Amino acid sequence: MVTVSTPLGNAQLVRYARQILLEEVGESGQARLLAAKVLVVGAGGLGVPVASYLGAAGIGMLGLADSDLVDRTNLPRQVIYSELDIGYSKVQRLEARILDNNPEVQIMTHPRLTPENASAVIEAYDWIVDGSDNFQTRYLLNAICARQKKTLISGALSRFTGQLAVFRPGDACYQCLVARLPNRDATQGCVEGGILGPMAGLLGCWQALETLKQILALSSRLQEELLLFDALNNSSHRIRMRKDQACPVCGE
Ligand SMILES: [Zn+2]
């Protein structure tokens, strides 16, 4: 009789039982998640749901990068933080909550990514999830991910609309998609534009799910497509992204 060995321990088989049940995951998929190293950039509206769900799903090594402190205006959408967390480091509070849920995740905390530190931080991870709220960080992550051949899972929100895109090495990159910094009206973040909390939860969960699909290499994962959704009108659609051969980041 041939016994099939599993890389998972008994406690892991119990903890992850419901996701292992999915034929898209199985024990081998769970082992892939446990071996994955994912950096979550931003511990705000998107970063909180992304990191919480990735930690709970059993991502082996999770990086959290942000220098912000919890502010009272964050609480309606960054729901794992409490009144008692106001004034304290977001990444430290987020790390503690993730470990409460799943103590076997290895968590590394980093300050906000800048042109000076980003390259060294990103080097330690295989998958980069962008939950930042500004174009400077998006361009920075894109350039470094293209150079280091890392997959970037990008999310952005504006009022009731959200967008999700995956930039894999060799495919169209963020710079191909957004060649120039958009004008101010199109770049309103939640500070100027306003936002309802579930919008951040919705897009952050979608981003976490897409990250799991990428790690599991499911054929239905986003590939050179931009997913747009409009929550006010309950609609979503995908558009194909085209590589710009003259792109200064990924072009010839
Ligand atoms: Zn490009």
227 — alpha (psi -120 to 50), left (phi > 0) or beta? beta
Q: Are 146 and 135 in contact (CB under 8 A)?
A: no
Q: Measure 148 CA to ligand 1 centroid, in angstroms.
A: 14
What per-residue confidence (pLDDT) applies to 93? 98
Q: Measure 133 CA to ligand 1 centroid, in angstroms.
A: 20
Q: Are 87 and 69 in contact (CB under 8 A)?
A: yes
pLDDT in tens, 118-149: 999 999 999 999 999 899 999 999 999 999 99
Q: Measure 171 CA to ligand 1 centroid, in angstroms.
A: 8
Q: Measure 8 CA to ligand 1 centroid, in angstroms.
A: 39
CATH number for the segment(s) 18-240: 3.40.50.720
pLDDT in tens, 188-219: 666 678 999 999 999 999 999 999 999 999 99
Q: Measure 219 CA to ligand 1 centroid, in angstroms.
A: 23
Q: Measure 249 CA to ligand 1 centroid, in angstroms.
A: 5
Domain assignments of the chain as residue spans, ordered by start: 18-240
Q: Measure 149 CA to ligand 1 centroid, in angstroms.
A: 13
7 falls in which pLDDT band (50, 70, 90)? Answer: confident
DSSP string, 89-123: BHHHHHHHHHHHH-TT-EEEEEPPP-TTTHHHHHT
Look up residue 186 and give its amino acid.
A
What per-residue confidence (pLDDT) applies to 189? 65
Q: Measure 28 CA to ligand 1 centroid, in angstroms.
A: 33
Burial class (CB in 10 A: 0-12, 13-18, 19+), 185: exposed
The residues that bridge with 107 in the sheet, in sequence order, are: 62
What per-residue confidence (pLDDT) applies to 192? 73
Going by their DSSP bridges, the two strands 225-230 and 235-240 should be labelled as: antiparallel
pLDDT in tens, 62-97: 999 999 999 999 999 999 999 999 999 999 999 999
Q: Measure 252 CA to ligand 1 centroid, in angstroms.
A: 10
Which residue, 232, 210, 195, is CA-closest to 78?
Answer: 195
Q: Measure 166 CA to ligand 1 centroid, in angstroms.
A: 12
State what percent of residues in the chain have pLDDT above 70: 94
11 — alpha (psi -120 to 50), left (phi > 0) or beta? alpha
- Helix and strand numbers (H, E) in the chain are 10, 8
Q: Measure 36 CA to ligand 1 centroid, in angstroms.
A: 25
Cα separation of 155 and 164, whole Å?
5
What per-residue confidence (pLDDT) applies to 190? 66
